[in-house]
Chain A
Amino acid sequence: NAGVTQTPKFRILKIGQSMTLQCTQDMNHNYMYWYRQDPGMGLKLIYYSVGAGITDKGEVPNGYNVSRSTTEDFPLRLELAAPSQTSVYFCATSLISGLGEQFFGPGTRLTVL
């Protein structure tokens, strides 16, 4: 079992470029989440999904989009990268929302210059 995998590990973008952060899980968890982690700020929820075809905004969704066409994959899309999106992005999954632990991927470190 690979658990939660994220690609790429690192990426540098120029302002205005777009990219997709990939997240894949093999645990058959229904719930998936995208967080961003900024120094000294903890984790902020960007988007989450309760199952294939169902997504919803978290605390900081502006500038991002998501889709969930399968149970396994939950990509995060940045359409027009801005310096404020420089952060470390984590994908996570859980079997039951809020009752069980969340399992995190290793993260993607994104820099927007």
Chain B
Amino acid sequence: AQSVAQPEDQVNVAEGNPLTVKCTYSVSGNPYLFWYVQYPNRGLQFLLKYITGDNLVKGSYGFEAEFNKSQTSFHLKKPSALVSDSALYFCAVRLKKVNYGGSQGNLIFGKGTKLSVKP
């Protein structure tokens, strides 16, 4: 079965320190991988995606993610955290192959990781 795991419910980081939010996936075939961020009382916002190519993907707000096929991971990173980065982060995965009218093309979301950046 396809699944996405975010093993940490919460990550605490001091402002200015690097941050990592972990994500692992389990799908058959090559996946498309996404990171979204949700600020309080808001909808999700797209951060970045991996489709193919370079394993290091750069996204919005200085975030980047590293795709590791052997470890089936797609960890979100940022070299220097800001207090304003505090939010809920979701990893999502989707199969590359799409069947018209089927559900394989839809996203599967992890449970989310709450990032707290303290001054």
Contact = CB atoms under 8 A, between A and B. Distances in A.
Q: Do A and B bind each other?
A: yes
Interface of A: 4, 33, 40-45, 48, 50, 54, 56-58, 90, 92, 97-99, 101-107
Contacts, number: 61
Interface of B: 9, 32, 34, 41-46, 49, 51, 90, 94-96, 98, 100-101, 103, 105-107, 109-112
25 contacts: A33-B106, A40-B9, A40-B112, A42-B90, A42-B112, A43-B90, A43-B109, A45-B107, A48-B106, A50-B100, A50-B101, A54-B101, A56-B103, A58-B103, A58-B106, A90-B43, A92-B43, A97-B98, A98-B32, A98-B95, A98-B98, A103-B46, A104-B43, A104-B44, A107-B43
A45 B106 contact: yes
B103 A42 contact: no
Nearest to A97: B105
Given A50-B100, A58-B106, 5 more contacts: A4-B43, A48-B106, A99-B32, A101-B46, A107-B43
Contact of A98 (B41, B90, B107): B107
B101 A98 contact: no
Contacts of B100: 50
Contacts of B34: 101
B51 A42 contact: no
Contacts of B51: 99
Given A43-B90, A50-B100, A99-B32, A106 B42 contact: yes
Contacts of A97: 98, 105-106
A101 B51 CA distance: 11
Contacts of A101: 34, 46, 49
Count chain A CB atoms within 10 A of each CB in B9, B43, B103, B106 and give the residue with the most: B43
A43 to B, nearest CB: 4
A90 B51 CA distance: 25
B49 A98 contact: no
Nearest to A33: B106
Contacts of A45: 106-107
Contacts of A99: 32, 51
A102 B110 contact: no
